[in-house]
A and B are shown apart, each in its own frame.
Chain A
Amino acid sequence: MAAKKDPEEPRAQEVETRPVHEGQGGYYAPLVDIYETDQEIVVAADMPGVDPSGVEVKTENGLLTLLGRVTRKSVKDVTQLYEEFVPGDYCRAFSLDADVGEGSVSAEMKDGVLTVRLRKPERARVRRIEVK
């Protein structure tokens, strides 16, 4: 039987604990979902306005950093009528358990969502054993 990790102790501990909107000049912390399967940990972050070319994903010293740069359009002679969101770059960092950081990492940017998959190294993967 697979050992279940207590949901109270996330494997990806967060460095920042809540999303913060810092507005212009700072970064927005994107909203994320983080979930775990037998093979990998998946971090999905909402970054609307970011193209694949604007993404940077780094794992370094047990820290996973997600960065998304928004492609800005130049606007001239424009009057802003409503402004419910101010375009800005996204950044958020998570600290990882050592064993997760060692596996391979892949990232995909599609429709404004950055999905990062961290494969658990062999020894950390859950192997389901068939009971005969």
Chain B
Amino acid sequence: MLSPWSSDWSPFDRLRQEMSELFGRRMFGRGPFPGWFERSGKYPRVNMMETAEALSVECELPGVKREDIEVSMEGSVLRIRGERKAPETGEVEYHRRERDFGPFERTIELPVKVDVEGVKAKFSAGLLEIVLPKHPDSQPRRIEVKVG
């Protein structure tokens, strides 16, 4: 779903995402052309939901350690950054290598103002969940209609 206010999700990004679905994984994350993926890393997949009280962001980060994840807020931008390190295997013989390792980063322009102090992040079973309570200014407010 395209979100017009999102600086992170231009039509080119969407095309790139779809192309990386087709090619990226089968090429072990290197992509079919040199420089296909940005040098700074890959984009983990993100879901964003909204309730009356909060925004909620989920991100799949299997095999990443909690200490290798950094979540930060800069103004209205949420940044998820980190690295998936390959496990220590020593001398082994690979029969199949599909998983990808290395640094990753996503920035997400938030559509509403949030209460930065109340943002909470939880990481469990390889899933990062960030709950961003809406700033009081962003919450729906009922305005009482008085009979005049």
Contact = CB atoms under 8 A, between A and B. Distances in A.
B39 interface: no
Interface in B93-108: 93-100
A35 B46 contact: no
A79 B63 CA distance: 29
Contacts of B63: 46, 111-113
A11 B126 contact: no
A118 interface: no
B126 A46 contact: yes
B95 A82 contact: no
Interface string A12-42: 1010001100000000000111111100011
Interface string B40-66: 000001111111100110001111110
Report, as a range, how many residues of chain B touch the other chain. 35 or more
B25 interface: yes
Contacts, number: 122
Interface string A45-57: 0111111000000
A123 interface: no
Contact of A44 (B55, B87, B100): B87
B62 A46 contact: yes
B9 interface: yes
A82 B1 contact: yes
Nearest to B17: A84
Contacts of B111: 81
A5 interface: yes
Contact of B126 (A35, A44, A84, A113): A113
B55 to A, nearest CB: 8
A35 B91 CA distance: 10
Given A19-B25, A111-B126, A35 B98 contact: no
Contacts of A80: 1, 47-49
A49 B63 CA distance: 11
Interface string A98-122: 0000000000000111000000000
Interface of B: 1, 3, 6, 9, 17, 25-26, 45-52, 55-56, 60-65, 87, 89-100, 111, 125-127
10 contacts: A7-B93, A10-B95, A35-B89, A36-B95, A37-B91, A49-B60, A80-B48, A82-B46, A82-B48, A111-B62
